[in-house]
Structures are given as C-alpha cells and as structure tokens.
Amino acid sequence: MKRPEPCVLEIVSKLAREPWTDRPTCVHPVLGSIGRAVHDYSSRPARKALLPLAPGFIGTAQVGYERSARLVALCVSTALTGAMTEDEARRLTASHRTALYLLAGGGAPGGLARWWLPVLERLRLGESCYRTFVATEHAAEAVAVVARASGDDRDVRLRQLLRQCLAAVGALQGQVF
C-alpha cells in the first residue's frame, strides 16, 4: 500500500529530530493547528507546495499569550472578510475580541472567555489552557472558514495565510520567513 503524502508538520518533526508526528513539540500548538488545517483544506498539489515552509515552524513553541493571541487574531481577521454563517460570525467575532483583549490588555474578552478566563487566571492555568485548547480551536475554525469562502483561489489564500502566520511568529523571534 502506498504511504500517504506527509503533512508539513510531519516533515518538521523529522527536521527537528523528533518522532514522526504531525504534533512536534518544537512547534507552537496554535501554529501547528493552523498548519494541519491548511494542509487538510489544500489540494494535493498545494500540499506539496507547503513543504518548503517546514523550517519556519521549528522553535516556535514558546509560552505566553502574545503568540497565541496574535495567531488567532490574524486567522480570524482573515476569515471575517469572507462569507460565513451567522453562528460562525458570532463565534469568530468573540474569538477575535478575546485575542485582542489578550494582546492589548484592554476591553473585555469575548464570548465565554469572559467567564472562564478570570477563573483560570486565578489558578494560573489561563495561558496554558488558551494556548493548548481554546486558541487552537479558534484558529482551526478560522482556517476552515477561509478555505470554504476562498473559492477557486483557496490554495493560494491558505498558503498566504500560513506564510503570514509564520511571519508573525518569526517577527516575535526576530526572524523573517
């Protein structure tokens, strides 16, 4: 049986000398979620075009709200420019508000985050919960909306979004991709 083509994150795991996985520990969870979603929504030829981006993922796994919130804000703001259901728009707007709150420290978080974030912060679990669970889901949903709304240029828009995310993370590390 022919082995399926690798996900860009599986290539990252080998480049980083980690076990073969699409969730390498050297990659920030939100960036990994975006990479997997872009791979899943891309056509077969476009998936191969993602492979040269693999080195940009390595060493991005730092903790802190800024990286997670910046990636969510970027993906959600891109998704909000396209067509979506009313429920998606409500969820993505709340996600965006929460990300902006975490980046700027002003206003109030959106959606259910206004309830769970203060409680988890008191327990010192807010950042890890956001980075590992909440932001990964928000970013993946935004990528799905971008993919569905992009039509014929879906592959180009998804690759462009992934490049922008890598550039945003690279700017935080003082690197350019």
- What's the full length of the chain, in residues? 177
- What is the maximum alpha-carbon separation in the chain? 55
User: Structure pTM?
Assistant: 0.93
- The dihedral of CA 63, 69, 70, 75: what is its sign? positive
DSSP string covering 36-75? HHHHHHS-HHHHHHHGGGGGGGTT----SHHHHHHHHHHH
Whether 1 is in a domain gets the answer: no
Over residues 43-53, mean pLDDT:
94
Q: Please determine, for residue 120, whether its predicted confidence score (pLDDT) is greater than 80.
A: yes
11, 35, 43, 73, 167 from 47: Cα distances, Å: 12, 10, 6, 24, 19
Give a yes or no: residue 72 inside a domain: yes
| Residue 176 scores a pLDDT above 60 | no
Check pLDDT > 90 for residue 72.
yes
In a domain, 97, yes or no: yes
Residue 59 falls inside a structural domain? no
Q: Is residue 3 part of a domain?
A: no
* Residue 159: φ, ψ to 5°: -65, -40
- 8 Å CB contact between 139 and 40: no
- Which residue is listed with tokens 């569905």? 148
Task: Read off the pLDDT of each residue in 54-63 and give the average, rounded to a whole number.
Answer: 95
Residue 14, domain member (yes or no)? yes
The residue-averaged pLDDT of 136-155 equals 94
The residue with greater pLDDT, 92 or 149, is: 92
Residue range(s) defining the domain that contains residue 33: 8-53+64-173
* Nearest by Cα to 61 from 39, 36, 33, 30: 30
Q: Which amino acid is at 85?
A: T
- Supply the pLDDT for residue 174: 59
Residue 132 lies in a domain: yes
Tokens of 120: 């988890």
Q: Is the pLDDT of residue 3 over 90?
A: no
Say what the pLDDT of residue 1 is. 55
Contact 47, 156 (CB under 8 A): no
* Residue 167 belongs to some domain of the structure: yes
Q: 65-79 and 29-41 are packed helices; what angle lies between their axes, rounded to 10 degrees?
A: 30
Tally of domains within the chain = 1
